[in-house]
Chain A
Amino acid sequence: MKHKIKFSPPPSPPPSRGRVWEGVKKGNSYTIKVLAFLCNWAPWSCYTGMGELGMPIPGEVNVIRVMCAGRVNTALLLKAFEKGADGVLIVGCRIDNCQNGTGPEVALKNIEHTYEILNLLGLKKERLQFKYYLAHESEKLSSDLHEFVKRIEGLGQTPISGK
């Protein structure tokens, strides 16, 4: 069964004030797994902003915080695919806003490099993507995550069973 996400407009005032645990009673199981490497700066700010604004994240997404998008090297990306990730996102800052100056450039270079290997392995390169945000773009991050999950669902499970 596919997990359907309810989109509700961010309630105002934000629901982080008060208890937030009235979960929806509904069974679910996720057929795919997505890893998202979030840079510590703008993307992490967007992610915590999602929590503050009460925007749901797809349950398929697992978040890893790194200090910079440029830090995610090919080895880590391949490790993720090896262990059975169906999709991997590197989320960085916009290129002219990088805290460190070169993060997104390096990340893109790493991704290009990894694409070649993914193609060689027969994995679709659509499973790997780079996204960038400014610090306030929580909504954009939220909708992009949902979109990415949908896209990976379309691609189906990875042929690698690292599980």
Chain B
Amino acid sequence: MTTESYGALIIGSKIESLKAAYDLATIGHRVLLIEEEEKLQASLEDTEILPSGVRSWYAIHPLLMAVRSHPLVDIVTLSVVDEIRHSKEGFSAFIRNKPYYVDTELCCFCGRCREICPVELPGSLKKAVDCISEKGIPRTFFIDKRKNPPCQKACPLGINIQGYLSLIASGKFREALDLIRESAPLAGILGRICHHPCERQCRRNEIDEPLAICSLKRFVADYELENPCHDSSTEPKERHQEKIAIIGSGPAGLMAAWELTRLGYRVTIFETLPVAGGMLRTVIAGYRLPQSILDKEINTLKEMGIEIITNCPIGKDKKSIGSLFDEGFKAILIATGADVNKNLGLGGEELAGVYDSIPFLKRINLGERPATGKRAVVIGGGNAALESARTLLRLGADEVNILYRRTSEETPGDRNELLLTMEEGIKINYLVTPIRFIGKDGRLTGVKCIHMDLGEIEPDGRRRPVPKKGSEFILDADTAIVAIGQEPELSFIHEESPIRISQHSTIKTNRDYHTEQEGVFAAGDVVTGSATVVEAMGAAKKAALAIHCHLRGKPWRETEDQDETRGDYEPVDPNTPHAFRPLMPVRGIKERRDNFEEVEFGYTKEQAIQEAKRCLQCGICSECKQCEIVCQNVGAVNHSGIKKHTEYRFHAVVSPRPLAEKFVSVLPEERIFCESEFGEGRRLEESLLLGAGLAGRAAAFLTSQMEVIPKDSKKLSSLYKEGVKSGLFICSCNESSGNPDVMNELAKFGAGFDEVVHSEVLPSACHPDGARILAETIEGKGITRVVLAACSCCTLDMICTACNDQRLRCKGNLFNKQGLDPSIFEMINLKNFMATRRNMDLQGVLEGGKNMIECALSRVKFQEKLPGQDGDMAKTVAVIGATLEGLTASLDLEKMGYLVYLTDERDPLLDKDISGEDKLYTPIIEDICERINSGSIVYLPWFQMKALEGHLGNFRIEFLGADQSHLRVSAILFSGVELEKVPLTGNLLRKGFARRTLPGFHSFSPWSTGIPGIFKMMLPPENSFNKKGLPGTAAAAEVAALLQKSEIRTKNIVAQVDQDRCRGCSHCLEACPFAAIEMLGDAIEDRKSSIIEMHCQGCGTCLSVCPTGAVDTIYKTEKQIEELIEVMLR
């Protein structure tokens, strides 16, 4: 929460709001502009064509930029006001803002994030990270993040599936694997044997078929095997001293070990068997998961520092859970899995030829090749059953029958495995269950079976199989394998142990995987009973975090904070072209017999890319974080952005649109500045009027409440010295603006000049660090002239149509934050130079760039000290014409602290006819009279102007009057007066009021008369705008804003007259469009022209008419341009 209090909250960011914000801030009140959308609403989309042919956007753009760069304006976008509260301290607004995931204050708009983003949205050129608007505010990128995709939600390990798919689609296989490894190890294993619950949730199911997520994971893992590179695993952030023991080296144990190692613990795994891998090794056959892959993945874990002690059963040889604690382990995870077969409980199980699946598979997988029969029966429908059947086939069985008591719908086995099993010629008998094993001489000869029907639905959601009476039959068989499920082996847990065991012989744990024994955790099949590899790993991952929390004394929470501000997925387009998975290349069926070689070969590169491209990109941003990598020099992209609630204190609310009822009820009426009656669809002029009017009212109120913040008159460090020591800084815009080689060449070229003492390429000049580097280097090396080749075009504090967010920020950082003196700078827009020469060959670009650098270096030598003087202005205003608007303007100006001379040709305050015209007059006249009596408004009726001359800050009005003959005021506001009849004299004589009457360009203010400091009342065509004297208030705000702004300093662009060379011809006086020249000296021969700096806009028109070259601008002098031409044409 911020402690600073805002004068006004401004809601919305259309032109009205921007105008109000600019005027209020310029008058000296802190303003917070709140916009719901991701950019300010007055933007390029405003394509109203003004009568002059200019698109309105170009007219308002400088206003937009001025608001953006104003030190008293804070802009919050993607924000809404949740609540307004009133407390003793004042009013507070609670504002909720959503993240952009890109820091709008750092983004240099290089666009490399968009360039690298792999997510292309179907049907548009947009990407997940895309720019909001080329010229909008903020000029930045925005990452469109939606809810996590359904596949990722379904994954027990939370792997960022969309992320790796999009990376595969763009050919970044290694990055894809790295992304998988952020969530889980063993990609090569999971890619082969995972039962992929993600694919079931894939939204592509609604169109054709789900993505082959699992096979693609395998592809990237295999890709790494074929194209090995240095390990990119990262060091853990912190290291902890605690040792952790894990019992069991199956998938759960390995997963937990990996996670804990990454968290910084030392992990030891204890394994009973001589080989690590648990079920991965013993149950899953080599034709699905080659031993070499398993070895490779386990080795990777060992390389991370995980110790695996094999042949070390716990519960025997004095090793027990208790003894592990004695050895110094601080936590123990039981991950022994479930590897004891459930008993069928039928007669004849003792016969030779009847095997339990797990010990059977274990023997095979550890290398034994027992003699099995020719006709085999496998009982069960799970993966262990399929595994056993296919193994039997490879051991030489001619016929293998699988018996499953339910239908194919209910089978727990993997669908793909089922297809492969059937493909290999194994018959699956559904709705069949064995009753008894039949044998002869102790050897199995057949299995008596019965057909089943499906009955009622059981509590687990499946239908209970019921035997069909009289359907018994005998299946001849010499081998039978029972694979109806497994349960954990828990003999190592002693009876006196506090660890509780359920009736299904699984370990009971709390929700945080903690058993009843302190420091002992359990996860995987040993807790859940026989399940899948990935579920066991998922549980183990959470258990590992639970252990971490336990050891660090942190509370453990199961669910991650899902950012609820994220939007929903885009609906699936029903017109999406149907496309199916590529066919997986497999080993021929005949070649699969007699050996345990892997059956599936995995996708080829082309197939993988083709398949990955089918992804619908549900979450839009896939969080592959590629953009974070390319942005690391700038550091603007941050995927972990979260929504924020912020409290802001304020005094008033300005809202061009009606304010929500819940706020109106909290706020007193006098603090709400809102004109709801004008509706939408205003013309630019009307919008400006409304904005300024609301600002004027708010300013009048706020001035009574609080002090106006004076503009800080900057004291620039005087770096400007004679003697040229130049520094050349080239901004590479995060290596986007030009070829890095060319940029480096240019820096080298610059360093070759005698006066250049420093030359370097910066990653970003608009970044605060860039400005800091500049400031430090300038100070450290005593640099007196700087050439900054970035995208800023000038060093001036003016804003023109071409300016943008980054350029303003660059200048703001350098000149305001770092306090550098603009006088020593020469800025060239190298970025635009490069962009307009993108079709040229690099040599040509280099030559052009060198020329540009040389020009700038030689030009900066002739840079003169820019003035930047502080001016001071009296707070006096003359309002000529006491119309309704004139009266309201006088009143508002008086409230803002100005001394107002209110004049009129007649005496309207006495005129009863006018006061009867409109009821509105009555209270205003009362107020005015009160102030006239107190002396803060000077009322001059029967006022006849004789002469008007001078300039902004010092106008002199002569008039026919009784006691006073002249007024001196800083500004003049005409209301209801014909400007043609105003008797301009002196420097204003030749000028006259501007003929420009159309709203053409940004500097056009509808209140402008062409002479700075002299305003006219702007009356909108519609009467409705005249409510409550809005035009008067608007004009008052305009006057106050200009006077307040002009207090600061004269512009750095003003012209100067060399008095020795001036011969007083007054050509310049005639040419000057701003009445900025006056002739000094009484006698003709003494006459010299002189610049009124307050008026001078630096256009340089006087230069081109001066016959002696006496006039010159300070910025871009004649000498500099001559130099420029010379170097350019060399």
Contacts and interface: CB of A to CB of B under 8 A. Distances in A.
Interface in B618-636: none
Contacts of A51: 831-836
B132 to A, nearest CB: 11
A55 B836 contact: yes
B1099 A33 contact: no
Question: Does more than half of chain B's interface fall in helix, strand or loop, or is it mixed?
Answer: loop
Contacts, number: 235
Nearest to A70: B1101
Interface of B: 52-55, 57-58, 109-112, 114-115, 125-126, 130-131, 134, 735-740, 742, 793-794, 800-802, 829, 831-845, 848, 851, 994, 996, 998, 1000-1001, 1003, 1010, 1053, 1071, 1073-1074, 1097-1101, 1103-1105, 1109, 1113, 1115-1116, 1118, 1121-1122, 1124-1126, 1128-1130
B855 to A, nearest CB: 9
Interface string A64-91: 1111101111111001100111000000
Contact of A18 (B736, B843, B1113, B1129): B736
A18 B1073 contact: no
Given A35-B1129, A48-B793, 13 more contacts: A13-B130, A15-B835, A15-B838, A16-B111, A20-B738, A21-B838, A21-B842, A23-B845, A28-B843, A48-B832, A66-B1121, A76-B1125, A100-B1074
A118 interface: no
Given A21-B742, A99-B1003, A76 B54 contact: no
A123 interface: no
A102 B366 CA distance: 95
B697 to A, nearest CB: 31
Interface in A22-51: 22-28, 33, 35, 40-42, 44-45, 47-51
A136 B50 CA distance: 13
Given A19-B115, A64-B1124, A101 B1118 contact: no
Interface of A: 3, 5-6, 8, 12-28, 33, 35, 40-42, 44-45, 47-52, 54-57, 59, 62, 64-68, 70-76, 79-80, 83-85, 93-94, 96-103, 106-107, 110, 134-136, 162-163
Given A66-B1116, A67-B1099, A97-B53, A21 B738 contact: yes
B111 A136 contact: no
A66 to B, nearest CB: 7
Given A59-B844, A101-B996, A5 B839 contact: yes
B1125 A135 contact: no
Given A100-B1099, A102-B1071, A110-B1104, A44 B1128 contact: no
Contacts of B58: 42, 45, 134-136
A146 B369 CA distance: 82
Given A17-B131, A99-B1001, A67 B1115 contact: yes
A45 B800 contact: yes
B998 to A, nearest CB: 7
Given A5-B839, A17-B115, A70-B1100, A35 B1125 contact: yes
B488 to A, nearest CB: 56
Contacts of A55: 836
Contacts of A75: 1109, 1118
Given A41-B800, A71-B1101, A52 B1001 contact: no
Given A23-B841, A40-B800, A48-B802, A100 B739 contact: no
B125 A20 contact: no
A48 to B, nearest CB: 4
A136 B55 contact: yes
13 contacts: A6-B839, A16-B109, A18-B111, A44-B802, A49-B802, A51-B831, A51-B833, A76-B1122, A80-B1125, A80-B1129, A96-B998, A110-B1104, A136-B54
Contacts of A102: 1071, 1073, 1101
A23 B739 contact: yes
Contacts of B740: 21
Interface hub of B834, B841, B1003 (most chain A Cβ within 10 A): B841
Given A18-B111, A97-B1000, A102-B1073, A68 B1129 contact: no
A93 B584 CA distance: 65
Contacts of B994: 101
Contacts of A41: 800-801, 1001
